[in-house]
Structure 1
Amino acid sequence: MESQLNLLLDIYDSAQHCTIPDFNQHALNKFRNVLQFDSAVIVDFSAIQQQKFIIQSIHLHDAPVEKMLDRPKAMGTESLNRNGALSSRDFVLKKALAERGNSVIANLTEGVSDPDILDYCRKYETAHSLTFVSSQPTIHTVPTIALWRAVKTNPYSEKDAHAANMLLPHILQAKRINGRLNVSSSPTADGSSTALATHDGCLHFVDPEVIRLIQLEWKEWTPPLLPRPLIDSLRQNNEMMFVGTSIQVKASVQGNVICMTITEKRKHPIPLSMAEYRAARLAAEGLSYKEIARQLDISPATIRNQLHSAYRKLGVSNKTALRNALPDLA
């Protein structure tokens, strides 16, 4: 009992100091000493009923991202019905969602007849699972933890489930505290929403508005992996900025986390003078300083100053972003 209390004190203490990925990693490593497992996942999925099942944020622990990407192929289309029950071939998660606050253990090598699920479990060395769904969901998400064992002869016991019921609620509560502290330490402009992700684009925290905003730019996108064009743009741009047709993203790196503020682009007059706008429009179409100067009959130095001012006012740093920021070209 004393060792478990020390474990919980350590987890709550680390929640106040760690980044989100570091906290998830630390908490699961600590819990691994109590309940041995080979891999794990912490997820927040959408709690909105009568809609497609969507994972909003995820932390994979000693498991490849491909395991999450291949999941829809094995589990099929998933949705939450009017009563909040899950429609899915994932019988373990269905039961855990129906019995929130109680760990559900399952042997995935016996009693499973679905060939897609069996192939999925073999591919990712998942012989046994313990799944816990929080009995205290947030307004928008349902926090969930799944722990997996790879060896067929090492099943979970009821004693394991009891230990998980005692400790996993604390990990999820500490995770919630950790998320709030990380977000509050990231300054957010008025009207913008916040998202935190790892460098490979895996979301660890999203404001409820973030999904809607990103889908304005990429209609078919669903979390938890950020759209590839957004990740590439942030990596290639020293200012870590993306300006699209519908949204603008500003990012910064804090430890091993990318902190993003996402703002919807409103339809309002651009803050440029007529001279700056003329020069910016020609630059966005691909013309050089000299070509713009020749066409407008102005010196290249003047064009350079006008474009520098336009870039600064629009918050962009390259011609692609400049083109997206001009409403008649976007």
Structure 2
Amino acid sequence: MNEINNLLLDIYHASQNTCVSEFSDKIFSLIKREINFDSGGFCDFNTSDTSGIKLLSAAAHNISTYDKLHARQNYLEPEFVEGQNKLTSADPSLAMAFKNKGNSVTLSVYDKGIKSNVAAYGIKTECIQTMVMVLAPPMPNRFQTLSLWRRKNNAEYVQNDNCKANIIFPHVFQAFAINRQIHRISEVKNPVNGTAICSLEGALLFIDDVAVDFLSREFHSWIPPFLPSILLENLRSTSEKIYIGKLFVLTSRRQKDLLFLNFRKTITFENLSPTELVIAEMLVRNETYKAIAQKLGNQPATVRNQAHSIYSKFGISGKAELAKIINQIR
């Protein structure tokens, strides 16, 4: 028991002291001290009465998120949530875990009664033995899963594995939440309407409800857990790292191998005061604070404060981004 207590301390220490890009591998490596497995995944799902369930974000260990999702779409039918405790899914492990939230569930693709498409999916992704838990209690229209997979047929999970998982997994869920929240707060200096964290390839690791709503309404065919390709290409092709859509303005900041995304509702010139509008036009012409102050009869410090107010309203940090937004509005 002391080993598990020490593991839990290490899990929470990692949640506060490990960057998002390294956290997944760190946390799964810690779990291996008590439970053996080959690959693992942490997933955040959204549920809807009309569109079923969507995988919003995912963190994978020793497995490709893209390959896993692609195989799931090819081998399994769409999934739907009915009420609080019933998930209609071709994946029996996920359906059982959803019904028994807060308890680990194990399954082998060779168990009696497993359908051929489910077995083929497990074999294709080298996930022969599955251990999964659904976070309990569920958040409104959201649920999270933590899964461990073994690739060998003769490596079934045993009762002792389940007992350990029931102790460890709830803390892992909490550790993921702490890690995402810490880095979200440290990265976002100004209040924003929505935030997300993704890899350079566009795989979402964290996304809040506001950002989900923006993306769903802006891109009707959007399929998470990847950013819409047109949005990602726009961020890659512009030096300002900004996307201006019909519904939102998105700015991105790169930190190592991750992109931190800030979403704000698109605003118009009506959101600026007459003075701010004049200053914005001058800033776009690359005029200095001193030059603008002389023309307006103000102090440079006053113009600087007004410029920062403009930047804050648009959720940006400089003239280049402001120029792009103003040109788009025009």
Is TM more than 0.5 here? Answer: yes
Can you list the C-alpha shifts for 1:226-245, whole angstroms capped at 9, x where unaligned? 11122222223222111233
Q: Which runs of 5+ in 2 are unaligned?
A: 286-317
Match of residue 68 from structure 2? 67
Query: Does the aligned pair in 2 maintain the 1:194–1:259 contact within 8 Å?
Result: yes
Secondary structure at the aligned position of 1:248 is classed as: strand
User: Aligned equivalents of 1:21 and 1:36: distance in 2?
Assistant: 23
Match of residue 326 from structure 1? 329
Secondary structure at the aligned position of 2:168 is classed as: helix
Match of residue 302 from structure 1? none
Can you list the C-alpha shifts for 1:234-279, whole angstroms capped at 9, x where unaligned? 2232221112333211010223321110122135559767xx7xx9
User: Aligned equivalents of 1:316 and 1:155: distance in 2?
Assistant: 57
Match of residue 250 from structure 2? 249
Match of residue 115 from structure 1? 116
Match of residue 222 from structure 1? 223
Say which is worse superposed, 37-46 or 212-221, in terms of deviation. Answer: 212-221
Secondary structure at the aligned position of 1:21 is classed as: helix
User: Aligned equivalents of 2:91 and 2:157: distance in 1?
Assistant: 18
The offset of 1:95, in angstroms, is 0.4
The offset of 1:119, in angstroms, is 2.0
Match of residue 299 from structure 2? none
User: Aligned equivalents of 2:270 and 2:116: distance in 1?
Assistant: 57
Secondary structure at the aligned position of 2:68 is classed as: helix
Fraction of identical pairs, as percent: 24
User: Aligned equivalents of 2:49 and 2:84: distance in 1?
Assistant: 7
Secondary structure at the aligned position of 1:226 is classed as: coil
Kindly report which structure 2 residues correspond to 1:1-330, keeping only aligned pairs within 5 A, or say none. Answer: 1-47=1-47, 51-64=51-64, 65-187=66-188, 189-266=190-267, 268-269=269-270, 315=321, 325-326=328-329
The AA in structure 2 aligned to 1:157 is: V
User: Aligned equivalents of 1:247 and 1:76: distance in 2?
Assistant: 33
Query: Does the aligned pair in 2 maintain the 1:40–1:61 contact within 8 Å?
Result: yes
The AA in structure 2 aligned to 1:315 is: E
Q: Which runs of 5+ in 1 are unaligned?
A: 281-311
Query: Does the aligned pair in 2 maintain the 1:192–1:263 contact within 8 Å?
Result: yes
Secondary structure at the aligned position of 2:5 is classed as: helix
User: Aligned equivalents of 1:203 and 1:314: distance in 2?
Assistant: 27
TM-score (norm 2): 0.80
Secondary structure at the aligned position of 1:145 is classed as: strand
The offset of 1:5, in angstroms, is 1.4
Q: What is the count of residue pairs matched by the alignment?
A: 291
The AA in structure 1 aligned to 2:175 is: A
Secondary structure at the aligned position of 1:130 is classed as: strand
Query: Does the aligned pair in 2 maintain the 1:239–1:317 contact within 8 Å?
Result: no
User: Aligned equivalents of 1:229 and 1:112: distance in 2?
Assistant: 43
The AA in structure 2 aligned to 1:136 is: P
With over 3 angstroms needed to count, the CA separation of the structure-2 counterparts of 1:71 and 1:316, relative to structure 1, is: farther
The AA in structure 1 aligned to 2:267 is: R
Secondary structure at the aligned position of 1:167 is classed as: helix
The offset of 1:111, in angstroms, is 2.2
With over 3 angstroms needed to count, the CA separation of the structure-2 counterparts of 1:47 and 1:162, relative to structure 1, is: farther
Secondary structure at the aligned position of 1:16 is classed as: helix
TM-score (norm 1): 0.80
With over 3 angstroms needed to count, the CA separation of the structure-2 counterparts of 1:62 and 1:154, relative to structure 1, is: same
Query: Does the aligned pair in 1 maintain the 2:240–2:320 contact within 8 Å?
Result: no
